[in-house]
Structure 1
């Protein structure tokens, strides 16, 4: 992977580390010119739809978070078979490495780190995200002490069903909450338990539960009691130990109500007035103490059969008593049986009517409470308005979440949650991720950069044009300005970028002023945006009134515009100078030729004295100035080829004049 460029943008520089499902690399973002961390799904998992889905779920979960203690997610993508997430690169070490290097942390430092972790969790929980894998390995400590919570690889919205995906529990067993250990639902309070383990480890240098196997550790989370931190480190305030005790409560109901509540408690744990507070113990669960209650039996009616006393009127004597008693007993027997039968029938009818009305009422109530199931229709690829309408027809509502997309047209549904075909309750909200068109990025500021580096950073844009101009401030080959301007948000695939690159300071090739009159020299300087400086006159080997020297720039030198040039004008020939005119015969080849005649004499520079087209043989006059130290040389060129060269000697001319 080292050296590979993902998405035409992220160059892999080195490996940073790896986890169960991904490898993290250090990379260079050539578009924005910054170092990032790139998490790449392991090759053995990139064909597993469950792993790929979980991998991308991480990006969607964390991308919704914006907090200084949460590692930022910049981008998510796929390059061939490689699935990757681009994240903020934090320079530092994990909290696990920090604890291993430092040992147990001082209480104030443990609290300072814990406050930042809880602040990140509180923000995540407020946004419906449960981390579900809080452990020191997933907490980064920057070089300046900043804390960043990372690796939401198994994070999930709190509407998720369970903590398992493939039949196995996810998360490091030493930091697993009891409800996760038994395969239950992981919620915000599970994160608080895991954080309690992290706080315990920061304070004591060890985890609360260890064992020979993951199963034995998980069982201890469910059943065993941990060694109180103060027994290992007596200098820990009781108030701070109480925070750990409450976070590690077996029953989630006994833990803090929220990360925010725990954060507020942790912030005040080191106050002097709290350090000696009573040991926190979990309250006795009332549900476990509830006694079985005996319900009273709804009884029947006890009837008292009236009896006759000896004092009762209407009879006398034993025989009469027997006869009368028998008659009255028979008379009494009939009415009592009838009453009992009627009462029984009444009770039966009342119970039946009660049952009928109870059943009707129950069915009515259940009709109000039970919500029918509906199947989620497929709306991916539809225009958002049509998708909303289709969901409404199915008895569902829509929640639109805008997302940038380079592949899906604007206002078209990219993805839906729950997915098509799932059976949900009527009235359920379906989240629609709707394309806002290609992602816009900020134009990087390439001003002052070398041209090659700037073009590399802008390689993702539609096209680049480069113009050049002179600059007194920007070095040659570096960018002076750019269009669009730095910071403008544009779509790279649709944007043409124009760069203006410096050619350095503007310079002018210094013209030769030799042989010109003063007026001609001044006009030549003005034509080249130069100025005439001082003028001096002295005798020379040049004809009177002509320029024979210029300073400080010689002919051909690069000169800044507006520079001043001093000149020397000849006041006449020196006494030892001789001025002669030589006749040179020119014979054009082929009947016609471009003829140039150059001389070099006491004036010290090559001079062109003839330059014209000649169509027939002719003699041209060539002026020369000779001196004791300088003879004259004449060279004749035809069509650029040297055809004649002759020397005129000063001594020969002097001797000829004497004769």
Structure 2
């Protein structure tokens, strides 16, 4: 079946489950490009009209429902002798697997699951559909926590023709309602009873009724009381136990009236004010617990009786018959007694009594011996799932049980090697010496890591995901190297090592190319400084890479760098070209301003600052100095055609004067004459000095005015 494209649309990928009636496969819907689950009727039933009818009824029942907690039906069809149903594919586990792995569950988690099951039942009941087989195996829980009810294969529509239907027992006896066990009509309350058992199992980790045979379990549903949840798990809130006790009443009238009523109780049972509510009380004892069991009608009697024919009465009867028919070997001759009537009159009664006692003793001994053969002590089967095989064998032997050989060894994803993942007769009570079958994991199927060094990281990730590795488990560590960016340099696990695709974590060291760093600025540095800086950074500069050209920069000064501008990312080993000033252009002219500057006040210091603008740039600072007497400051400027050089003087941070020369003036041969910046003259002896109170006498002029 695997690899087959059903009806030209559903490509069968792998088997994911199955039951007595059908097998379930994971498939790909090539038309809608999505994963689906395909349930296929087993081949032995393809000519059985009853199974085909039941199989089709499952599709009809589930297709009539549209609810987030019910598995959706997409399609139903037949290809030759293959009958199939296409349904929603749920990525996750069924509740039975979760109970086996983690039960007892926390009350909050159990109630959250039960609420969603009950919500689904409310929707089904509202649509007049009774599920009739609520059990953990039929509850799917997706990875997002969403609960989905599935397997409506024995669901019944509530109509006049089915309300009175009796005598048919279909489903799982551990989750039967009493009325189901009797073969009576089952209704909404039967589903609620089964949900009560599922909730019981979630919070205790145990089933309420166990037995050696289906009939013994069915009778317990009818007649016996179960251990209350808080006896098995005292941490269960009383409000949660109350929900279970009410749902599992044998008397239907004392259960929840509807799924809606039970849903409301589930939604509120974990509210703080309800956690310690009183234990629920019922007005009368559960009637079916003490009632004489009615005759089990119809096919249920045949079904159950066929599984539990006891050999004890038959063998006891045989043993008794053997003793009854047996005649004594020593028979007394009555004529001999008559020969001595006085002497032997007592012999006959004594012999009769003695013989009778011997026969009774033999019968008793025989009966006790036969009973001893069958009256073997019973023990609870230890739950050994998740133990190592050695621990499981030791536990079973200590309990008086035996391990059935051969043990089944299977690749099992998610289960460590040598760990028991399944056992027979779990949660049952059996005779001492009974055989228990163990199913042991050989560990997940391992793959061998290939050598990915030198390959593309992106291509490698795609290849690993195709092998089943979770992309979230693939990490990379960037590193500088001479390899092209994105090339794998190293890997963990190493090439040749085994790994589990579902759990393995891969780490790759991936090249991000050569190391880069910001390109330094070389402009205005001397040639020697620039070359030394480049070499210190691991960059390459040769004499042939230095271009010299005239400029207004000082000779030997870097005026350009190529191909990397300052702060651009550059890698080690990159070649750099420099343009270096070879001196002034031929048509450039030089001129020197001779500026004579006096302090603002004679005998007092002044701070002098001189800036100039010429062909080399604007506002270049030439002088900054303090003086106490008159000094001359030569300022050399460079002019190119059609330009003007300008010198500006600041004294004590105040603008004082500006001098300029044009290119044509200098070219015409104008001599450099001194430019004077005088200070303030000393006031006459009979004239008061200028002070803050007397800042001016009205006759003083400034240097600029002069």
Give me the TM-score of the superposition, normalised by structure 2.
0.40
TM-score of the superposition, structure 1-length normalised?
0.43
